[in-house]
Structure 1
Amino acid sequence: MTSAPAESDSLLAPDELARYADAIVRSCLYLEEGDALFVQGTLGHRELAVALAEAGYRAGARLVDVHYSDPRLQAARVRQARDEFLGPVSAWAERRLRTQLQASSAVVTIFGESDPGVLDGLPPERVAEDSLRPLGKVRWFVRAVEAGRWRWAGVAWPTAFWAGQVYPELGSLEAQRHLARDLLHFCRLGPGDPPDASGWREHAAAVARRAETLTGLELERLELRGDGTSLSFRLSPETLWLGGQGPNADGRLVAPNFPTEEVFTSPDARGTEGTFRCSRPLAFRGRTIEGLGGEFRRGRLVRLEAASADDRDFLAAFLDADRRGRWLGEVALVDSTSRIGRAGRTYLNTLIDENAVAHIAFGSGFGQTRVPSPGMRGARGVNQGTMHLDVMIGTEELEATGFTADGARVPLIAGGLWQI
């Protein structure tokens, strides 16, 4: 039996919150004695940020450093700053990033929209420039992330705004608590799960095993067919599939998504053909973008659609701010046994929704999806962009089929279920 929240505005009981934070620190980042823990979020995430600090020090962290950002400050800069001053990267911010790349550092980013609409009405080209220009200034960091050198986990926390989107029929605090219970269930920390994080660790290991199975098939092409979607992806030789958990470039075990259900890879960015229709709205930069769809030819997105022309243009500005933004960096598979998908709700949060159904991502890919080979140079088809944007295309009817070099057809997902 779970105790009631100790304070009237607490979203979880103290033992639930501690278990959630401990699982992030010990079973996603696998923090060790003497490591440094960096926490990134907004003021709306303070309850979890403090709990993560407690969990970090319990695990033996030498430092827990919390950094709160404020989207209203970005809005002020986009409104008022001269063009050449958009997208600043301070010297201290660069030092912070370099410290985060150390083998003894671990990073948590907390997701959950808390201040929507602050960018509404601002020129989309300036918003995109301010958001993406910093990545161009620290390309050394982007490349290090793609190579798996950043020990990072993305997690979620129910803000009042976000919970109200997911549960509009409930009062604000009740909606937040309901969403918090959903997160525990998705992370295998709910009432029906083991009292420790063993359910989560077993699940993450099972997802990793499925990724290994996909790698072993040595597919050269992948097809996705479903409602409004007919896509073909070329897969480079020596492609690896990833998911669940695995060692980073420093050999430290990490489970980067909490929760997770997906297995994913980076296709050859030049080899995507066909059309797609998003099955869920995209929550992006304070907007909810409906009706997304489009067409790829020779790898490039040549047509983009959305229910609102303003939303379409806003998204197109972001894609075009990165010269590789119209090519794909990821394709990910999820079947209908996903706890998130079975919840039957759209959560309007990429971390959650991308683990409910299959998805694709524009922009940067993952260097870790290629077998390391000293004799092989270049990206081997991995998108070298700076941005990364996931959009959900999966449905219960989606079928995924792989093809080997000798033409063998391998059903991967059919009837909503894994076939391997």
Structure 2
Amino acid sequence: MEFERNLDKYAELAVKVGVNIQPDQTLLVRSPIECAAFARKVLVHAYKCGAKNVHIEWSDEQSTLLRYLNAPEESFNEFPKWTSDQYVDIAKEGGAFLTIYAQDPDLLKNVDPQRVANFQKASAVALKEWRTYTLSDKCKWSIVSVPTEAWAKKVFPGASSSESVDKLWEAIFKCTRVSGQDPIEAWKNHNADLKLRMNFLNDKNFKTLKFKSSKTDITMDLPEGHAWLSGSSKDPNGIEFNANMPTEEVFSMPHKFKVNGIVHSTKPLVYGGNVIDDFSLTFKDGKIVDFTAKEGAETLGKLIDTDEGSHYLGEVALVPFKSPISDTNIVFFNTLFDENASCHFAIGAAYRTCIKNGAEIKDEDCDNRGVNQSLTHVDFMIGSNDMNIVGQTYSGEEVQIFKDGNWAF
């Protein structure tokens, strides 16, 4: 009974705080079939909030794997136009999008990486117009996660299937503040706390950030007019929503051409059904000029080669080493959770909301403003308990932002 109550609270939280559904609004839910029970609860809560239509787009990992193993090569260079048209139509009419992200980290480990890379690029091209809505908060969107057996077994390999799923549910409820008496009020307070950090960084208007740990030594400039964001965002109508649940980050964009040094991953990255782990990236004038990886090197190389913009960074996010997710001491093999347990950067596109009047910047002017464009946006984790971050203002003042992995203020 307690689990069912928490499951219902989680679905309500996703609807009321995640996408914050309003009367007469359309909601598209993208869900694995294994997460059907949760998706149906989301549907009920959305209609209770006055949603006009709730569409559920189901996916099946085993069917996905069978396709990668058996479909003809040329099919991976295509993406269904009706899918991209549907997304854009819903975004244009002011609809919202909820993604239930619960991927088996090893699903495609025995698949030709080129097939995966081809389809990743084809889908990115097809969904480019829709992504302009999410990257600039022109529509409400949110990502949550629900345990599946394959994912849970990866996180807790020593437990039985049922035990691993139960343990992952427990961790998710804790990290998303569902376990408390009033999760919605808890998220209101959490968003307010993150805004305090955000406001401090915006008031300082840093020109340069220096990241230093035992493995990472990197300096980046921030574009003029950059903005730090955190927690909740607002759509064009001023309606608040939380794109990530959970979230612990305060984030902005680095200047596309002003990143120099080496950065080393501190958690595995799951990308395209494969694990990339223990990797480093070397930057010169913003561009990735070298990389290493003990696991998933070929997959990492194909990610970097997606397009010109995937050779550059689009996001810098600050997350303390001591946080609810990090304190679980769990490697989730799920970027939604792992990125919110660690400072992280993102390969690829920048969020236009992270610079003044970003939505009005023309594509041809982005390079002059230091704003990266790409078909992809992939976060990877770099935070550690010995990470120190120093910000330098335009007047030359140096401010300690992180000390030994945590906020210094």
Aligned CA distance change for structure 1 residues 249 and 225 (closer, same or farther; 3 Å) = farther
Corresponding residue to 1:405 among 389, 394, 401: 394
Query: Are 2:335 and 1:335 aligned?
Result: no
Q: Deviations over 1:187-229 (max 9, x none)?
A: 1221xx3334201221022213321221121111111111200
Letter of the structure 2 residue corresponding to residue 14 of structure 1: E
Aligned CA distance change for structure 1 residues 344 and 138 (closer, same or farther; 3 Å) = closer
Corresponding residue to 1:233 among 191, 195, 220: 220
- Structure 1 counterpart SS, 2:54: strand
Q: Deviations over 1:75-96 (max 9, x none)?
A: 4554555555424333421331
- Structure 2 counterpart SS, 1:412: strand
Aligned CA distance change for structure 1 residues 101 and 253 (closer, same or farther; 3 Å) = same
Could you tell me which residue of structure 2 aligns to residue 111 of structure 1?
101
State the alpha-carbon separation in 1 of the partners of residues 197 and 259 from structure 2. Answer: 23
State the alpha-carbon separation in 2 of the partners of residues 107 and 84 from structure 1. Answer: 30
Structure 1 stretch displaced more, 155-164 or 71-80:
71-80
Aligned residue pairs, count: 405
Mapping of residues 142-161 of structure 1, within 5 Å: 142-161=131-150
Q: Deviations over 1:129-175 (max 9, x none)?
A: 11112222343223232222131101011111111122223221122
Aligned CA distance change for structure 1 residues 321 and 75 (closer, same or farther; 3 Å) = farther
Could you tell me which residue of structure 2 aligns to residue 319 of structure 1?
304
Query: Are 2:107 and 1:97 aligned?
Result: no
State the alpha-carbon separation in 1 of the partners of residues 214 and 118 from structure 2. Answer: 34
Aligned CA distance change for structure 1 residues 374 and 95 (closer, same or farther; 3 Å) = closer
State the alpha-carbon separation in 1 of the partners of residues 147 and 88 from structure 2. Answer: 30
CA offset at residue 417 of structure 1? 2.5
Could you tell me which residue of structure 2 aligns to residue 49 of structure 1?
39
Two-structure CA RMSD over aligned residues (Å) = 2.0
Could you tell me which residue of structure 2 aligns to residue 68 of structure 1?
58
Query: Are 2:356 and 1:371 aligned?
Result: yes
Structure 1 stretch displaced more, 165-174 or 262-271:
165-174
The structure that is helix-richer by fraction is: 2
Aligned CA distance change for structure 1 residues 35 and 374 (closer, same or farther; 3 Å) = closer
Query: Is the CA contact (8 Å cut-off) linking 1:100 and 1:150 kept in structure 2?
Result: no
Query: Is the CA contact (8 Å cut-off) linking 1:78 and 1:130 kept in structure 2?
Result: no
CA offset at residue 19 of structure 1? 0.4
State the alpha-carbon separation in 2 of the partners of residues 296 and 182 from structure 1. Answer: 35
CA offset at residue 122 of structure 1? 3.1
Query: Is the CA contact (8 Å cut-off) linking 1:244 and 1:255 kept in structure 2?
Result: yes
Q: Deviations over 1:279-319 (max 9, x none)?
A: 111122222222111211111111111113xx101221122
State the alpha-carbon separation in 2 of the partners of residues 270 and 153 from structure 1. Answer: 30
Could you tell me which residue of structure 2 aligns to residue 188 of structure 1?
177
Query: Are 2:329 and 1:344 aligned?
Result: yes
Corresponding residue to 2:16 among 16, 19, 26: 26
Query: Is the CA contact (8 Å cut-off) linking 2:392 and 2:399 kept in structure 1?
Result: yes
Query: Are 2:134 and 1:134 aligned?
Result: no
Aligned CA distance change for structure 1 residues 236 and 15 (closer, same or farther; 3 Å) = same
Could you tell me which residue of structure 1 aligns to residue 188 of structure 2?
201
Could you tell me which residue of structure 2 aligns to residue 10 of structure 1?
none
State the alpha-carbon separation in 2 of the partners of residues 122 and 348 from structure 1. Answer: 19
State the alpha-carbon separation in 2 of the partners of residues 252 and 390 from structure 1. Answer: 26
Could you tell me which residue of structure 2 aligns to residue 222 of structure 1?
209
Aligned CA distance change for structure 1 residues 78 and 322 (closer, same or farther; 3 Å) = farther
State the alpha-carbon separation in 2 of the partners of residues 196 and 393 from structure 1. Answer: 29
Query: Is the CA contact (8 Å cut-off) linking 2:120 and 2:272 kept in structure 1?
Result: no
CA offset at residue 383 of structure 1? 1.1
State the alpha-carbon separation in 1 of the partners of residues 155 and 123 from structure 2. Answer: 32
State the alpha-carbon separation in 2 of the partners of residues 168 and 293 from structure 1. Answer: 26
Query: Is the CA contact (8 Å cut-off) linking 2:274 and 2:299 kept in structure 1?
Result: no
CA offset at residue 366 of structure 1? 0.5
TM-score (norm 1): 0.91
TM-score (norm 2): 0.93
State the alpha-carbon separation in 1 of the partners of residues 67 and 226 from structure 2. Answer: 41
Query: Is the CA contact (8 Å cut-off) linking 1:205 and 1:245 kept in structure 2?
Result: no
Could you tell me which residue of structure 1 aligns to residue 377 of structure 2?
388
Query: Is the CA contact (8 Å cut-off) linking 1:206 and 1:244 kept in structure 2?
Result: no
Aligned CA distance change for structure 1 residues 360 and 111 (closer, same or farther; 3 Å) = same
Query: Are 2:262 and 1:275 aligned?
Result: yes
Could you tell me which residue of structure 2 aligns to residue 287 of structure 1?
274
State the alpha-carbon separation in 2 of the partners of residues 248 and 401 from structure 1. Answer: 32
Query: Is the CA contact (8 Å cut-off) linking 2:134 and 2:141 kept in structure 1?
Result: no
Query: Is the CA contact (8 Å cut-off) linking 2:320 and 2:406 kept in structure 1?
Result: yes
Could you tell me which residue of structure 2 aligns to residue 418 of structure 1?
407
State the alpha-carbon separation in 1 of the partners of residues 159 and 75 from structure 2. Answer: 43
| Amino-acid identity (%) | 26
